[in-house]
Amino acid sequence: MGVSQAERRRVRHPDSKRTRLSSYLIFAVLFTAGLIVSHLTILDLPYFWDEAGQFIPQTFDLLRNGDWYATSVTPNVHPPGVMAYLATIWRITGPHIVITRLAMLLLAALGLLFAFRLAILLTGQARGIPALLVVLLLACSPLFYSQAMLVQLDMPAMVFTMLSLLLFLENRIALCVVACTVLVVVKETGIVAPGVFGLVLLTEKRWRDAFLFFVPAFVLAGWLAYLRSQTGHVFGSAEFTHFNVQFALGFLHLGLGALRRVSYLFVENLHILGTVAIVAGLWRGRFAGRNWSVTGLFALAHVVGVTVIGGATLERYLLPVIPLFYMAAVLGAEALPGLWRKVCLFGMLIGLLIGLFWNPPFWPFPYENNLAFVDFVKLHQDAADYVSLRFNGEKIVTAWPLGSALRNPDLGYVNRPIPTTELLDFSASRIRKIPREQMDVLILYSRDWDPPNNLMHHPLVRGLLRRSWGYEAPIGRFEVEGELGLKPLKRWERGGQWLEIYGRP
pLDDT tens digits for 226-235? 999 999 888 8
Q: Is the pLDDT of residue 9 over 60?
A: no
Q: Is the pLDDT of residue 469 over 80?
A: no
Residue 238 has a pLDDT of 77
Burial of 338 (0-12, 13-18, 19+ CB in 10 A): exposed
421-to-204, 287, 442, 490 alpha-carbon distances in Å: 58, 55, 10, 19
pLDDT interval class at 94 (50, 70, 90): very high
| Higher-pLDDT residue of 186, 468 | 186
Q: In sequence order, what E strands does 345-466 have?
A: 396-399, 420-423, 441-445
Q: Which of 1-15, 31-45, 269-283 has the lowest mean pLDDT?
A: 1-15
pLDDT interval class at 290 (50, 70, 90): very high
| Mean pLDDT confidence for 54-63 | 96
Distance in Å from the first CA to the final CA of the chain:
100
**Among 9-18, 83-92, 309-318, the range of highest mean pLDDT:** 83-92
Residue 19 has a pLDDT of 58
Q: Is the pLDDT of residue 44 over 90?
A: yes
Which amino acid type is present at position 211?
F
| Mean pLDDT confidence for 267-292 | 95
Percent of the chain, pLDDT > 70? 91
Residue 249 has a pLDDT of 58
Residue 6 has a pLDDT of 42
pLDDT interval class at 455 (50, 70, 90): confident
pLDDT interval class at 4 (50, 70, 90): very low
Q: Are strands 497-503 and 487-494 parallel, antiparallel or unpaired?
A: antiparallel
Q: Which of 117-131, 240-254, 396-410, 470-484 has the lowest mean pLDDT?
A: 240-254
The count of other CB atoms within 10 Å of the CB of residue 177 is 21
pLDDT interval class at 178 (50, 70, 90): very high
DSSP labels, 318-375: GTTTHHHHHHHHHHHGGGS-HHHHHHHHHHHHHHHHHHTTPPPSSS---GGGSTHHHH
Residue 126 has a pLDDT of 75
pLDDT tens for 206-217 read: 999 999 999 999
The verdict on whether omega for the bond into residue 401 sits within 30 degrees of 0, i.e. cis, is yes
The secondary structure element, H or E, covering residue 151 is none
Q: Is the pLDDT of residue 294 over 50?
A: yes
Q: Is the pLDDT of residue 7 over 50?
A: no
Task: Region of 495 please: left (phi>0), alpha (psi -120 to 50) or beta.
Answer: left
Does the domain at residues 369-503 carry the CATH identifier 2.40.50? no
| Mean pLDDT confidence for 242-257 | 66
Q: Is the pLDDT of residue 14 over 70?
A: no
Rounded-to-integer distance, Cα 68 and Cα 41, Å: 33
Q: Is the pLDDT of residue 1 over 60?
A: no
Rounded-to-integer distance, Cα 262 and Cα 461, Å: 20
**Mean per-residue pLDDT of the chain:** 90
Domain parsing of the chain, residue ranges: 18-355, 369-503
With contact defined as beta carbons under 8 Å apart, do 54 and 73 qualify? yes
The secondary structure element, H or E, covering residue 416 is none
